[in-house]
Structure 1
Amino acid sequence: MNIGIDKIGFYTPHTFIDMVKLAEARGVDPAKYTIGIGQEQMAVSPVTQDAVTLAANAALRILDKEDLKKIDFVIFGTESGIDSSKSAAVYVHDLLGIQSSARSIEIKQACYGATAGIQLAKGHIALHPESRVLVLGSDISRYGLRSSGEVTQGAGAVAMVISANPRILSLGDQSAYLTNDIMDFWRPTYSDTAYVDGKFSNEQYIAFFLNTWEQFKSQTDMTIADFEAMCFHLPYTKMGMKAMREIFDEGTEEDQKRLTDHYQLSTIYNKNVGNIYTGSLYLSLISLLENDTSLKAGNRIGLFSYGSGAVGEFFTGTLQPEFREALAEAEHKNLFAEREEVSIEKYEEIFSEVLPVDGTNLQLDIESDPATICVAGIEEHKRLYVNKSR
């Protein structure tokens, strides 16, 4: 059975900062951020947005009435969960008005969660071909003001509809994966910012890619020449290229140029949003599909997912005849065009405004947030969500 991505969209908050200005404010050579790290802008999430609302806003832009009737499984990958018991998927299920005969769950494994969700969705569709599964990857990346990881922050979500006979990308049956208990990145339950061993994490990312790539080749007898393009989880946009260069000696100069050219186009959106953890790989895929006019039906795309701690997976997808018609390119261009740049001082103010952790009741000003779905406040230890379109 042909199973894969039928629809895909993303959402990012309406405010952002310029990385050159951040570098100047931190007394750093701007080239370190724009060239060394490969970032140009960074999304800044207001207190009226969290992982739930980002995901719901992303899904709202791609779902129609038929989807709402046929989706019977909502899978939410995140490491920015808002409750230790209730899944973020249940909130999204209600905010979108998905029919009630559905499963709704949350998956956590660092930046790998959405990929795990896709693999679960494939199994569900194989058993229930008429169903549709909504897979979400949503996160707010926080390392702290003036921290070493500040430049790799970001916020956003990707929503995907997985179905039989998909219009965008048919996912391959073969997949290679690896788990190893390491401490390259972690987020303790008592901290709202992450901890990372940057050099070690970079090394492990590459090691996991090479391990899963070798596994995949042995399973399929494919080589680098069989791939039109490769997309990577991008904590920052130079990371994927560091990994891909490790296998360039397996191909020709033509292979190297083809993969490099496609890779650059796959990073455009990530450069201007920043790191969105579980959604990062799929934001890169959207960027590739919407900015690369040379792609055509039948092209095979390699996908590398990495979640610190760590789990990695290499798998593939094949572009379908209707893939261009099924994209939400115009919607995403408008999303970027309507964003507002804020000063570094304003960014620091927004970053420091957080929801209370002691259950204090709070009402937020959601009129200043143009998003359709927002966090409206807290009442009796419950987050209050509003869908303005209702």
Structure 2
Amino acid sequence: MWPKDVGIKAMELYFPAQYVDQEELEKFDGVSAGKYTIGLGQSRMGFCTDREDINSLCLTVVSRLMERYRVKPEDIGRLEVGTETILDKSKSVKSVLMQLFEPSGSTDIEGVDSTNACYGGTAALFNAVSWVESSAWDGRLAIVVAADNAVYAKGSARPTGGAGAIAMLVGPNAPLVLDQGLRSSCMRHAYDFYKPDLRSEYPIVDGKLSIQCYLSALDTCYTRYTDKAKRKNNATISLKSFDAMLFHSPYCKLVQKSFARLALVDFLNLPKAEASKKFPELAAFANVKLEETYFDRDVEKAFLAASKGDFEEKTKPSLLIANQVGNMYTPSVYSGLVSLLISKPIDALAGSKVGVFSYGSGLASSMYSISISRDVSRDSELVKIMTNLERVKRELEAREQLSPAEYTRILDVREKNCHAAPYEPKESVENMFPGTYYLNKVDELNRRTYKRVLS
């Protein structure tokens, strides 16, 4: 018999304690006013100093999750990390996290790392859910970690960076249930964004191809999801089927365009006569072909306008963290879930159906849905999640603002010392959030040790 209502039982979010203002970055970079803030839809960008790396990000978020939800090490039977921030070609980040479990003797924990650009967190989540639903499940819970430090070389892509980590506790009787038996995927080979130089943190990006790959994968996943829903449940799916729609967010403006694109797909799925009658202002687009519209400004403008009201209600609330921290890569779409939970009252969320589109360049993508519990009683797990996440807005405002010049200096330090050994970080730890793990040193054999800011 299937375990009931398998999904996310608890969530924890971490982002660095410093950021750069995107409006100031526009001036510093000498670009037109609004290029980053309006054109990309970004306000602030979080980033790591040389004191933080993928291991420290994950140590911080997992320790927070376990402490705040009182999770015991012996309660965990699977631990899996999704990341594209690679420090070692062999040793998994998960193995580093075992430092949190070994003191209690808890070493019987399955899982390692999942890697493919921004999709690794979703792969890890699917694996954890499948483990709970499998014959291998022994009654314990799983922890899924999605974390990355997203940085770019100087140029047009740099303002689309960010950094952060999300940890999710997965098990049965969850308040955020992954709908069983209904999800779609699109996996293809593409060089839209990739990191072949293991000596550098910076990717190679084909910006135009990356947007086309993202939108094409979205079209495919949505079409397949609707087809599967029709076959499985005889259900007709459209944007009206979801109370909220979450997207991987490279930058917020692309998410708004993606929502408009699903409105275009819904429009093209209607019989032409019905579509023209219902939406006379869109009738001129009744015969367009999806694959020819990726960069069609007329189509984009028309469907952005037509879908604006639904976007404001169903998706904009999920972009708070993306707007304030930036693209965290694997945690990006899950920061959207956190943003949704802290942007709407619990009574408005209870019983909601949430659509999720996850994308990772190269490429891997999936669409699935989450059903939010109707239980809003004081001791319910949904209330516990939302109560714990209330501090996120306070932490966003408690961060230290650094100048674009200081931000650039810090990224230059990171670039110069990427994979350096031995190495001792020099940046201050004074302004880090309480409980944050930080890199203490890298020895001559590339062995990393960490310390923790006292609570």
Pairing of 1:326-337 with structure 2 (within 5 A): 326-327=385-386, 328-337=388-397
Cα offset for 1:43? 0.4
Aligned residues: 389
Q: CA deviation at 1:10?
A: 1.0
Cα pair distance change 1:95/1:144, threshold 3 Å = farther
- Give the counterpart of 1:241 among 246, 252, 256: 256
1:305 partner letter = S
Corresponding position of 1:207: 216
User: Which 10-residue stretch deviates more, 169-178 or 159-168?
Assistant: 169-178
Q: Is the 8 A contact 1:228 1:301 kept in 2?
A: yes
1:114–1:356 distance in 2 versus 1, CA, 3 Å: closer
Q: Does 1:308 align with 2:337?
A: no
Task: Pick one of 314, 320, 325 that aligns with 1:268.
Answer: 320
**Counterpart amino acid of 2:23?**
V
Counterparts of 1:223 and 1:204, CA distance in 2: 23
Could you give the per-residue CA deviations for residues 92-120 of structure 1, whole angstroms, max 9, x where no partner exists?
23146672221241111100000000110
Contact 1:373–1:385, Cα closer than 8 Å, also in 2: yes
Q: Which ranges in structure 2 are unaligned for 5 or more consecutive residues?
A: 231-235, 268-277, 280-305
Q: TM-score, normalised by structure 2?
A: 0.81
Deviation string 1:133-184 (CA, Å, 9 cap, x unpaired) is 1111111111113x12011011111111111111234443311001110110
Deviation, structure 1 residue 187: 0.8
In the superposition, relative to structure 1, how do residues 32 and 356 fare at CA in structure 2: closer, same or farther (>3 Å)? closer
Secondary structure of 1:325's aligned partner:
helix
Task: Note the C-alpha offset of 1:82.
Answer: 1.2
Q: Is 1:139 the counterpart of 2:148 in the alignment?
A: yes
1:154 correspondence with 2:162: yes
Question: 2:189 maps to what in 1?
Answer: 181
Deviates more, 1:99-108 or 1:21-30: 99-108
Specify the code of the residue in structure 2 equivalent to 1:70: D
Summarize the Cα distance change of 1:365–1:273 in structure 2 as closer, same or farther, 3 Å threshold: closer
Partner Cα separation in structure 1 for residue 57 and residue 75 of structure 2: 22
Name the structure 1 match of 2:35: 32
Larger mean Cα displacement after TM superposition, 164-173 or 107-116: 164-173
**What is the RMSD of the two structures over their aligned residues, measured on CA atoms?**
2.2
5+ unaligned residues in a row in structure 1: which ranges?
Answer: none
Could you say if the C-alpha distance between residues 358 and 291 of structure 1 is closer, same or farther in structure 2, counting changes exceeding 3 Å? closer
- Structure-2 separation of matches of 1:102 and 1:182: 34
User: Is residue 377 from structure 1 mapped to residue 430 from structure 2 by the alignment?
Assistant: no
Output the CA distance in 2 between the equivalents of 1:257 and 1:367.
44
Q: Which amino acid aligns with 2:447?
A: K
d(CA) in 1 for partners of 2:251, 2:307: 23
Say whether the 8 Å CA contact 1:129–1:163 is kept in structure 2.
no
Distance 1:185 1:156, change over 3 A: same
TM-score (norm 1): 0.93
2:180: which partner in 1?
172
Q: Within 5 Å, give how 1:26-175 maps onto structure 2.
A: 26-64=29-67, 65-95=70-100, 99-127=106-134, 128=137, 130-145=139-154, 147-175=155-183
Match of residue 219 from structure 1: 228
Counterpart residue number, 1:341: 401
The code of the aligned residue for 1:78 comes to: T
State how far apart, in whole Å, the 1-side matches of 2:431 and 2:91 are. 26
SS in structure 2 of the partner of residue 109 of structure 1: coil
How far has the Cα of 1:131 moved from its partner? 1.6
Cα deviation, 1:195-230, whole Å, max 9, x if unaligned, reads 111111111101101101110111112412211111
Higher mean displacement: 25-34 or 367-376? 367-376
Distance 2:34 2:126 in 1: 39
Q: Give the deviation of 1:363 after TM superposition.
A: 5.5
Following TM superposition, by how much is the alpha carbon of 1:337 offset from its aligned partner in structure 2, in angstroms?
2.4
Kindly indicate whether the alpha-carbon contact (under 8 Å) linking 2:148 and 2:330 is maintained by their aligned counterparts in 1: yes
Q: CA deviation at 1:256?
A: 6.4
CA contact (8 A) 1:12 1:157 kept: yes
Cα distance in 2 for residues equivalent to 1:232 and 1:271? 13
**Cα distance in 1 for residues equivalent to 2:203 and 2:172:** 37
CA contact (8 A) 1:172 1:315 kept: no
**Structure 1 residues 383 and 20, CA, compared in 2 at 3 Å: closer, same or farther?**
same
Instruction: State the percentage of identical aligned residues.
Output: 25
1:360: which partner in 2? 422
Alpha-carbon distance between aligned partners in 1 of 2:73 and 2:454, rounded to the nearest angstrom? 16
1:13-49 CA distances to partner (integer Å, 9 max, x unpaired)? 1110100000011111231111110000000211111
